[in-house]
Amino acid sequence: MSLVIASQMEEGFDADLRAHASRPTVIKPSEAEPWAAADDADILLVRPTPAWRGNREAPRPSAWPGKLQWVYSASAGVDFYPPWLLDAPLVTCGRGVASDEIADYVIAAIYLKAKDLERVRAKSLAEWKEAPLGRVSGTTVGILGLGAIGLAVARRALALGCRVTAARRRRHLPSPVKGVELLDDVGAVVASADHLLLALPSTDATRGMVDARLLERAKPTAHLINVGRGAVLDQSALLAALDAGQLGFATLDVTEPEPLPADHPLWSHPQVRLTPHISSNYTQVRGALFNKVTSDLDRFLRGEAPSDIVDPVAGY
211 domain residue, yes or no: yes
Predicted local confidence at residue 168, as pLDDT: 81
This prediction has a pTM of 0.93
Say what the pLDDT of residue 282 is. 82
Same domain, 209 and 117: yes
Q: Are residues 18 and 112 in the same domain?
A: no
Q: Looking at the domain assignment, is residue 118 inside a domain?
A: yes
Q: Is residue 306 part of a domain?
A: no
Residues 207 and 70 in one domain: no
Residue 53: give its domain's CATH number: 3.40.50.720
Residues 161 and 55 both lie in one domain: no
Cβ contact 6:27 at 8 Å: yes
Same domain as 228, residue 109: yes
Task: Determine the Cα angle at 74 with ends 71 and 80, to 5°.
Answer: 80
Concerning whether 170 is annotated as a catalytic residue, the answer is no
Catalytic member of 10, 11, 127, 258:
258
Give the residue numbers spanning the domain of 54. 4-96+285-301
- 186 and 295 housed in the same domain: no
The pLDDT value given to residue 2: 83
The separation between CA 223 and the C-alpha centre of its own chain, rounded to angstroms, equals 18
239 in a structural domain:
yes
Query: How many helices (H) and strands (E) would you count in the chain?
Result: 9, 12
Q: Is 229 designated active site?
A: yes
Cα separation of 316 and 312, whole Å? 7
The phi, psi pair for 142, rounded to 5°, reads -95, 135
> Based on the domain organization, do 198 and 131 belong to the same domain?
yes
Any catalytic annotation for residue 216? Answer: no
DSSP string, 9-67: S-HHHHHHHHTSTT--EEEPPPSS-GGGGGGT-SEEEE---HHHHTTTTSPPPTTTTTT
Report helix, strand or coil for 284.
helix
From the list 275, 254, 143, 138, the residue with the least C-alpha distance to 197 is: 143
Query: Is residue 313 assigned to a domain?
Result: no
Judgement on whether residues 31 and 158 belong to the same structural domain of the protein: no
> Is residue 21, in this structure, part of any structural domain at all?
yes
Same domain, 256 and 153: yes
Per-residue pLDDT of the chain (316 residues; tens, 9 = 90+): 589 999 999 999 999 999 999 999 999 999 999 999 999 999 999 999 999 999 999 999 999 999 999 999 999 999 999 999 999 999 999 999 999 999 999 999 999 999 999 999 999 999 999 999 999 999 999 999 999 999 999 999 999 999 999 998 776 678 889 999 999 899 999 999 999 999 999 999 999 999 999 999 999 999 999 999 999 999 999 999 999 999 999 999 999 999 999 999 999 999 999 999 999 988 889 999 999 999 999 999 999 999 999 999 999 9
Do 163 and 251 lie in one domain? The reply is yes
Assess if residue 55 is contained within a domain: yes
The predicted structure's pLDDT at residue 171:
65
| Whether the bond into 174 is cis, omega within 30 of 0 | no
- The confidence score (pLDDT) of residue 261 equals 98
Terminal Cα distance for the chain, rounded: 32
DSSP letter string, 232-272 = GB-HHHHHHHHHTTS--EEEES--SSSSPPTT-GGGT-TTE
- My answer on whether 154 and 243 are in the same domain is yes
The active-site residue out of 277, 299, 302, 304 is: 277
In-domain check, residue 310 = no
Question: Of residues 47, 95, 168, 229, which has the active-site annotation?
Answer: 229
Q: In the chain, how many domains are there? A: 2
Q: Are residues 31 and 163 in the same domain?
A: no
